[in-house]
Amino acid sequence: MTGKPHGSGPPGTAETRRQRLIAIALICGAFACFSGLDATAKWLSPRIGVIETTWVRYVSSFFFVSLVLNPWSHPTLAITRRPWLQAIRSTLLLASTMLNFLALQYLQLTQTMTIMFLQPLLVALISGPLLGEWVGPRRLAAIGVGFIGVLLITRPGAGGIHWAAIYSFIGVGAYAGYSLITRSLAGQDSSETTMFYSAAAGVIVLTPIVMVTWNVTPDGWTLLMMALIGFWGALGHWLLILAHRHASAAILSPFLYTQIVWMIALGYLVFGDVPDRWMLAGASIVILSGMYLLHRERVQGRPGG
C-alpha cells in the first residue's frame, strides 16, 4: 500500500468525513471477522486438535488469499529484500496463533482477547531498547495501569483465571515481536509480499506434522467450520487493507477495542460464557490504557511523547 489514505486530507471536507466513515465501517467489519475466527477455532480445537486447527486456518486462508494474490497475477510477490526477517516474522505469527488456540480451549473468548490487548502496551514498552522509540513518563504510567487491569482479570493466587492463560501471555509476547518486525519491514517489502509469506509459513511448517498427527474423520459441521476459519481470516485481512486505504492508522487504531463487544456476544451465544465483574473491570482498564497511548501518539506525533 503506497501513498496517503483517501481519508487523510483536510479534516473538515465532506469527502474526507465520508472516507473516514467508510474506513471505520471496514475496520469494525475486520475485527468482527477476527472474532469469528477465534470463536470458530475455539469450537474446532477440541474436535480435531490445536495443531490441526491451526493448519486448517492457514491452509484455508491461504486458499482464499491466493484467489486474488498469487505469484502468477503478481510476479514479484515472493521477492523479498529481507528473507530471514520475513521468516522470523511469519514464525512469530504462527506461534502466536497456535498459543492463542491452545488458550481458547480453556479460557473464554473475552479473556484471551483482553490479554491480547496488552500487545500495544508491550510494543510501546519494548520499542525503546529495540527501535530507539522511547516512551515518555505519561505513556509509561499508562502501560503500568494497563498491567494492573490484567492483574484484575487474572487475580494470580486467587483462582481468577485458568492456568492456560500463560499460553495467551506468551502469545502476546510473540505477537509483539511480530508487530515490531512488521514495522521494520514496512519500508522494504510490499504489504502484499509480507501477507503472502505470513500465509505460506503456516502451510509449509505444519503440513508435514499434520500428515502424521491427523486421525479424525470430520463430519459436515466440522468441514463447514474448517472452511469458515480461513474465510474469516482472509476476509478480515482484506477489510483491514481496504480500511487503511481510506484512513490513517491513527484514526483507525482505537476501533481495535470494538472487538471485545464481538467476543462477549459470540462467547455468550455460542458457548454460554458470561464475563464476570473482575474481567469486565480489568478489560475496561486495559482498553482505556491502550486508548490513552493512542491519544498520546496522535498528540505528540513522535515516538517518545
State the Cα–Cα distance between residues 200 and 77, nearest whole angstrom.
Answer: 12
14/204: higher pLDDT: 204
More confident residue, 20 or 183: 20
Residue 74, pLDDT > 70, answer yes
Q: Is the pLDDT of residue 54 over 90?
A: yes
The 10s digit of each residue's pLDDT in 213-244 is 998 888 999 999 998 998 898 888 788 878 87
Cβ(210)–Cβ(157) under 8 Å?
no
Cell numbers that stand for 225 in this block? 467450520
Three-state SS letters, 28-47: HHHHHHHHHHHHHHHHHHHH
CA distance 72 to 266: 38
DSSP secondary structure letters along the chain? --S--GGGS-TTSHHHHHHHHHHHHHHHHHHHHHHHHHHHHHHHHHHH-HHHHHHHHHHHHHHHHHTTS-TTTSTTTT--S-HHHHHHHHHHHHHHHHHHHHHHTTS-HHHHHHHHTHHHHHHHHHHHHHHS----HHHHHHHHHHHHHHHHHH-TTTT-S-TTHHHHHHHHHHHHHHHHHHHHHTTTS-HHHHHHHHHHHHHHHHHHHHHHH------HHHHHHHHHHHHHHHHHHHHHHHHHHHS-HHHHGGGGGGHHHHHHHHHHHHH-----HHHHHHHHHHHHHHHHHHHHHHHH-STT-
Q: pLDDT band at 305, cuts 50/70/90? A: very low
What's the mean per-residue pLDDT of the chain?
82
Percent of the chain with pLDDT over 90: 29
**pLDDT of amino acid 2:** 44
Ranking 14-18, 129-133, 161-165 by mean pLDDT, the lowest is 129-133
Whether residue 248 has pLDDT greater than 60 = yes
Quick one: pLDDT band at residue 48, thresholds 50, 70, 90? very high
Mean pLDDT, rounded, for 174-202: 82
Rounded Cα–Cα distance for residues 278 and 148 (Å): 12
Given this model, what pLDDT does residue 303 score? 42
Tell me the per-residue pLDDT of 249-277, one tens digit each, with 9 for 90 and over. 667 777 777 888 899 899 999 999 988 88
Where do the domains of the chain lie? 29-300
What is the pTM assigned to this prediction? 0.80
pLDDT at 73: 75
The model's pLDDT over 91-121, given as tens digits with 9 standing for 90+, comes to: 999 999 999 999 999 998 988 888 887 777 7
